[in-house]
Amino acid sequence: MFYEGTIIRPPSEADSIILQVTVGCSHNRCTFCGAYKGIQFRIKEAHLLEADIAFAARYCTRQKRVFLADGDALILPQRKLISIVKNIRHNLPWVKRISTYGNAKAIRSKSMSELNELKDLGLDRIYMGLESGHDDVLLTIKKGETAQSMVEAAGKVSEIDIFLSVTVLLGIGGVDLSDRHAEATGRVLSLMAPRQIAALTLMPLANTPLYDQIQRGDFKLPDARGILKELIILVQAISLDRVQFYANHASNYLPLSGRLQRDREKIIQSIHLALSGGASLVPERMRAL
């Protein structure tokens, strides 16, 4: 495969064929994100993509899913995206599921009939980064969206029954907005109604503006206890039923997962146990992105 730069994929796509159809992220301004810093967003060269699909046709016959990378492949013009998806269907006929990252702008750029067209061709999962449901936080981190615009984008995905997975970021409100960030995020997630929620914990990367803010003392990251308290507020604020909730990413201090609301009390009890010293946390040196 002709991969360029760092290839990032959701944990649940670990077994997928990763096809890099774009390089970088069309937004690339989030202050906490160092994934594509310094990389000019572009569509991957057609001949390289052709070669990658040919490679997958030969060597990836046991993998039933394809994940389209990089940061927001859904932003591709519809005609281009349709041609890629048709190419996958034609050359990798055993593939059952196609997934991609899709930010709110990319979702907004597609009409309902365009999303339906993609769904009919096999796109069945979109991963979207909300990060925070608090508008002040979204503004500060330069997400380029508001809580309302994220809710609207999520509504389009849900309306055509494409599986929506939403990621949020514990700690991104800093100490100052910690509680309000957690509460607003739970509330906005409830409005977005994704099928899956992944709560990661902020780990500042040295190549990001947020890291510089921390060094200058302009942003104070909550400590492990602060993050766990944030997690309690977040879980309590989610009013959805039957949503899969994951806080077991390598960045998290306490690996937790379950189905809300069914497992809500169990999750909260586990956090209280850790806060009281009855369960150990992942040591800093073992945490990773």
Pair 31, 208: CB distance under 8 Å = yes
Q: Which helix (H) or strand (E) holds 124?
A: strand 123-131
Which of 16, 20, 22, 28 is in the footprint of ligand SF4 by CB under 6 A? 28
Amino acid sitting at position 260: L
Least distance to ligand SF4, CB of residue 215, Å: 20
Report if residue 156 touches ligand SF4, rule: CB under 6 A: no
- Dmax over CA atoms of the chain, in Å, equals 57
CA distance 198 to 125: 14
Least distance to ligand SF4, CB of residue 168, Å: 12
Which of 20, 99, 100, 103 is in the footprint of ligand SF4 by CB under 6 A? 103
Q: Which residue, 172 or 254, has its beta carbon nearer to ligand SF4? A: 172
Q: If DSSP codes are grouped into helix, strand and coil, which group holds residue 91?
A: helix
Pair 5, 39: CB distance under 8 Å = yes
Least distance to ligand SF4, CB of residue 35, Å: 5
173, 179, 183, 189 alpha-carbon torsion, rounded to 10°: 30
Stretch that binds ligand SF4, among 11-19, 20-28, 195-203, 231-239 (CB under 6 A): 20-28
Stretch that binds ligand SF4, among 21-29, 85-93, 179-187, 216-224 (CB under 6 A): 21-29
Which of 21, 33, 210, 231 is in the footprint of ligand SF4 by CB under 6 A? 33
Report if residue 129 touches ligand SF4, rule: CB under 6 A: yes
Report if residue 256 touches ligand SF4, rule: CB under 6 A: no
Which of 71, 102, 171, 186 is in the footprint of ligand SF4 by CB under 6 A? 71
Of the candidates 27, 31, 8, 26, which has an alpha carbon nearest to the alpha carbon of residue 18? Answer: 8
Least distance to ligand SF4, CB of residue 144, Å: 8
Least distance to ligand SF4, CB of residue 113, Å: 25
Q: If DSSP codes are grouped into helix, strand and coil, which group holds residue 55?
A: helix
Q: Which residue, 19 or 30, has its beta carbon nearer to ligand SF4? A: 30
Contacts with ligand SF4: how many residues (CB under 6 A)? 9
Report if residue 25 touches ligand SF4, rule: CB under 6 A: yes
CA distance 275 to 144: 35
Stretch that binds ligand SF4, among 27-35, 190-198, 213-221, 273-281 (CB under 6 A): 27-35
CA distance 105 to 108: 5
Q: Which residue, 92 or 172, has its beta carbon nearer to ligand SF4? A: 172
- Looking at residues 184 to 223 of the shown chain, list those that interact with ligand SF4 (rule: CB under 6 A): none
Q: Could you tell me whether strands 243-247 and 256-260 are parallel, antiparallel, or unpaired per DSSP bridges?
A: antiparallel
CA distance 107 to 73: 11
Which of 30, 60, 84, 227 is in the footprint of ligand SF4 by CB under 6 A? 30
CA distance 146 to 127: 17
Pair 147, 188: CB distance under 8 Å = yes
Of the candidates 53, 263, 285, 247, which has an alpha carbon nearest to the alpha carbon of residue 169? Answer: 247
Contact residues: ligand SF4, CB under 6 A: 25, 27-28, 30, 33, 35, 71, 103, 129
